[in-house]
Every structure is written in C-alpha cells, then in structure tokens.
Amino acid sequence: MIEVNNISKAFAGNQVLKNINVSFFPGKVNFIIGRSGSGKSVLTKCIVGLMEVDQGEIVFDKRNFTKLDRWDRKDIRQEMGMLFQGSALFSSLTVEENVLFPLQMFSKMSKSEMMDRVNFCLKRVNLEGKNHLYPSELSGGMQKRTGIARAIAMNPKYLFCDEPNSGLDPQTSIVIDNLIKEITYEFGSTTVVVSHDMNSVIEIGDHINFIYQGELWWKGDKRDILHTNNQELNDFVFPSKFMKEIRENLRG
C-alpha cells in the first residue's frame, strides 16, 4: 500500500500540489485522473522520487520514502516498475536487452534464469519472437508492451503507468489496459495509473482519484462517477452535450 500524506509541491512560487492525502491499494488498479496541468504527473513524479516534495510524506508499506536518502531509497526503488508516457525504452538496446537490463543490474539470477525471465515477460505481453528488434523498429503499442515487460521484469510490488494509452488507437489502448489489469491482479501489485482517458478509467479502474487545480477533489470507484454531483468531475468526465445525455440515460 502507498500512502501519500499531506504533500505539497511548488515551482517558483506556483503551487502545483496542495496538501494531497491519498492511498493506493495493493492488487487494485488505482487511477489518478485530471485535466492537463492539474498536477497529476507531478504527483506521480513525487511518489516515485523523481521530484522532492516541499512538505508531507510518502509511505510505501510503512516505509517512509521521503525521509530516506538517495542510497536507502534504492531498496524501495527496486520494488518499483514504471511505464512511461513515451515508453522510455533504451534506444541503443534491443527489446530483449531492455527487459534484461534491470535483471542484469540487480538480480542474483544466473544468465539462463535471466533469459527465462525475459522470455516469460515478453510472452506475458505477447511479444515473443521480437527479442532482437530495436525500439525504433516497433509500433507505438509494441513499445508500450516492451515498457510493461521491462517494468514487470523485477516482479515489482508497485507499478506506475504514466498515460499508458497516449498516442495509441482505441483498440490497442484496450489491449494495454487489459494487460495492466491482468498483471495487477496476477502479481498483486499496487498499480497507479495516471490518465485522462475515461475509456481506461471505466474499463479497468478500481479506485479513482480526481485531481483538480493541484488538490484531491474527489475519490471513489468508477460507479460513483455516474452518480456524483461534483461539478468539476462531471465537467471533466462528461465534457460534451452528447456525453451529458449519455450520463442522464445511464442515471435514468
């Protein structure tokens, strides 16, 4: 479980996150949603330690991440996997080498065990036989799947996905969404997905946290979204007249 307690973050006097309190649960797909510029990516970067918070604390299973120094954070970081918006695959390495990379750095496995793990991860994301291709030779969806394979290589307790569907067509998006959901349930990982894609939220979201102007504005599950009277959330989820009509029909 990840607990975010009262965190704030400002850039040059501009308050981006304001006293955010939120929990992310194990074995569930936890969403952070919000408009562009609402602070959801900054929140994720603070949680994974790519940015330092100005105040508050982030606790990973009773381990206070914010109080640890760079070297002590290493243990928790090795329990994290992250899928980046642009995949962030190492462009000079093949698909196989990308997935192998964290194993080579940290695992105590033998070479053959590592290769077995790589092949298992690639099979899990339906990329068997693509071992020797370079990221530039892959489609957007395949790059995302390689990113997922790399993220799960170390069997992470915490899986972070930053805009996993950006730049993908709706059908490929569903494939990626289902993969994230299956992996979360299969490995029992605490999964945090940052997105503004409502299809994904409705498809795989277990717990949803809505960030508005740097504050946690609303939280609940996907069914609650249909019935909430929170104006800002309704404007975000049902922005058009057509979507508002759909909501009324569903409510009715």
Instruction: Output the smallest distance, CB 94 to another protein, in A.
Output: 15
* Closer residue to another protein (CB): 82 or 211: 82
Pick 72 or 169: Cβ nearer another protein: 72
To the nearest whole angstrom, how small is the minimum distance from the Cβ of residue 88 to another protein? 4
Task: Name the minimum Å distance from CB 119 to another protein.
Answer: 20
* 180 within 8 A of 124, measured Cβ to Cβ: no
Q: Which residues bind another protein (CB under 8 A)?
A: 48-50, 73-75, 77-78, 80, 82, 84-86, 88-91, 101-102, 104-106, 150, 154, 160
> Considering beta carbons, is residue 144 or 150 the nearer one to another protein?
150
Residue 51 CB, shortest distance to another protein, in Å, is: 10
**Residue 50, Cβ neighbours under 10 Å: how many?**
11
Cα 2 to Cα 151: distance, rounded to the nearest angstrom: 18
The closest of 28, 32, 79 to 185, measured between CA atoms, is 28
Among 151, 192, 188, 238, smallest CA distance to 3 is for 192
Q: Which is nearer to another protein, 25 or 90 (CB)?
A: 90
Q: Which is nearer to another protein, 38 or 143 (CB)?
A: 143
Q: Least distance (Å) from another protein to the CB of residue 92?
A: 9
